[in-house]
């Protein structure tokens, strides 16, 4: 049976709950900068999230909600400029510490790193957004800056197709030089689940986020409402094919730690 060698994390919704109060706010600020009277409300943004990628999301909004708007030509340049403004707003907010990591994330990353488990990222978002988010996280003095904990950062437009296509997870695996069976993936959304499973990452943990709690995520090996912390109430189990085999490890730890991820990894390997 293959050993667990690496963990591949999604970013938005998984490392941090960035969509509603981060990306959405940055899109609206970019629209205001450009003199557009567009306002993406919390529910509308939830709908638009089915489309991954900020530029793709703007195009979908134009097609579905602004059919009468005549964008300046060429459309590609208009969308690119608007999205660059959005990235500038977003990175500024994140560098200022606008949104912290979700509970348990830093603890788990640290435990994994200390145990020699390799860390990677597979995300749809722009690489600068990942750096900005991670740069604001304080780590103990003897550790390098958080960004350097991740050996591989696969992000943004570097693959032909964004999630739910498997490309970004496949790229992360290729850059790690590992088979999918040596890894656990952590995601928060249905698009992410399809992407990770498509890349063969059966040992898939989902921690639902504010926009994804009602999605159908049951194809993942384990679905929880978060990673939890040892001194907080344990994460709630919401589903997944490995929920029973992992239950004892989760009960013992009271949160997702490396023992839970190893149990998940074993369960997924036994099933595949
Ligand atoms: C989340 C996304 C991204 C962000 C916006 O991806 O879908 O599109 O909302 O990022 P993931 P950009 O959960 O895979 O990290 O505007 O930079 O595209
Ligand atoms: Mg996500």
> What is the distance in A from the centroid of ligand 2 to the CA of 72?
31
Residue 1 binned pLDDT confidence (cut-offs 50, 70, 90)? confident
Tell me: the pLDDT tens digits for 120-140? 999 999 999 999 999 999 998
Mean pLDDT of 154-161: 96
Nearest-angstrom CA–CA distance, 264 and 222: 8
User: Which of 10, 22, 42, 52 is the pocket-test mutation for ligand 1 (most atoms within 8 Å of CB)?
Assistant: 52
Quick one: pLDDT at residue 190? 98
Residue 24 binned pLDDT confidence (cut-offs 50, 70, 90)? very high
| Report field, pTM of the whole predicted structure over 0.95 | yes
Question: Taking 90 as the threshold, does the pLDDT of residue 239 lie above it?
Answer: yes
Residues noted as catalytic: 10, 12
Mean pLDDT of 2-12: 97
> What is the distance in A from the centroid of ligand 1 to the CA of 132?
14
Q: What does the DSSP 8-state code read for residue 16?
A: B
Neighbours of ion ligand 2 (CB under 5 A): 10, 12-13, 188-189
Identify the CA nearest to 198 among candidates 155, 166, 174.
166
**Element counts in the chain: helices (H) and strands (E):** 10, 7
User: Which of 11, 57, 199 is the pocket-test mutation for ligand 1 (most atoms within 8 Å of CB)?
Assistant: 57
Tell me: the pLDDT tens digits for 174-226? 999 999 999 999 999 999 999 999 999 999 999 999 999 999 999 999 999 99
Identify the CA nearest to 18 among candidates 120, 110, 106, 130.
130
Atom of ligand 1 nearest to the CA of 163: 14
- Give residue ranges with CB within 6 A of ligand 1: 10-13, 19, 23, 52-54, 86-87, 123-126, 129, 163, 189, 192
- Atom 16 (ligand 1) nearest CA: 54
Mean pLDDT of 247-266: 97
Residue 263: CB atoms within 10 A of its CB come to 21
- Atom 8 (ligand 1) nearest CA: 53
Quick one: pLDDT at residue 240? 97
Q: From residue 11, how far is each of 124, 244, 248, 264 by CA, in Å?
A: 8, 27, 28, 20
Quick one: pLDDT at residue 169? 98
- The structural domains of the chain, ordered by start, are 6-18+100-271 (3.40.50.1000), 19-95 (1.10.150.240)
**Residue 213: CA count within 13 A, CB half-sphere:** 7
> What is the distance in A from the centroid of ligand 2 to the CA of 192?
6
One-letter-per-residue 3-state SS of 88-110: HHHHHHHHCCCCCCCCCHHHHHH
Identify the CA nearest to 224 among candidates 199, 257, 201.
257
Quick one: pLDDT at residue 2? 85
Percent of the chain with pLDDT over 70: 100
Nearest-angstrom CA–CA distance, 36 and 70: 12
Residue 272 binned pLDDT confidence (cut-offs 50, 70, 90)? low
> What is the distance in A from the centroid of ligand 1 to the CA of 97?
18
> What is the distance in A from the centroid of ligand 1 to the CA of 265?
27
Percent of the chain with pLDDT over 90: 97
Whether the upstream peptide bond of residue 74 has omega within 30° of 0, thus cis, is yes
């Amino acid at each position: 049976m293959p050993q667990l060698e690496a963990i591949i994390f999604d970013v938005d919704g998984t490392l941090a709950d960035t969509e509603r109060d981060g990306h959405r706010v940055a899109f609206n600020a970019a629209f205001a900068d450009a003199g557009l009277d567009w306002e993406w409300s919390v529910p509308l943004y939830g709908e638009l999230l089915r489309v991954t990628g900020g530029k793709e999301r703007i195009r979908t909004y134009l097609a579905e909600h602004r059919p009468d708007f005549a964008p300046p030509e060429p459309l590609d340049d208009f969308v690119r400029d608007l999205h660059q403004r959005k990235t500038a707003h977003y990175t500024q907010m994140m560098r200022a510490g606008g949104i912290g990591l979700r509970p348990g994330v830093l603890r788990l990353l640290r435990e994994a790193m200390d145990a020699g488990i390799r860390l990677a990222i597979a995300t749809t978002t722009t690489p600068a957004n990942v750096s900005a988010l991670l740069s604001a996280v304080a780590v103990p003095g003897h550790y390098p800056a958080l960004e350097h904990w991740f050996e591989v950062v696969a992000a943004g437009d570097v693959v032909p197709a964004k999630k739910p296509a498997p490309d970004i997870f496949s790229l992360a695996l290729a850059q790690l030089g590992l088979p999918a069976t040596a890894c656990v993936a952590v995601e928060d959304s249905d698009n992410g689940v399809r992407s990770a499973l498509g890349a063969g990452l059966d040992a898939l943990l989902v921690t639902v986020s504010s926009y994804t709690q009602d999605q159908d995520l049951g194809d993942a090996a384990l679905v929880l409402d978060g990673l939890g912390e040892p001194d907080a109430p344990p994460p709630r189990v919401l589903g997944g094919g490995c929920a029973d085999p992992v239950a004892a490890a989760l009960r013992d730890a009271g949160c997702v730690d490396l023992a839970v991820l190893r149990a998940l990894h074993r369960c997924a390997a036994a099933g595949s």
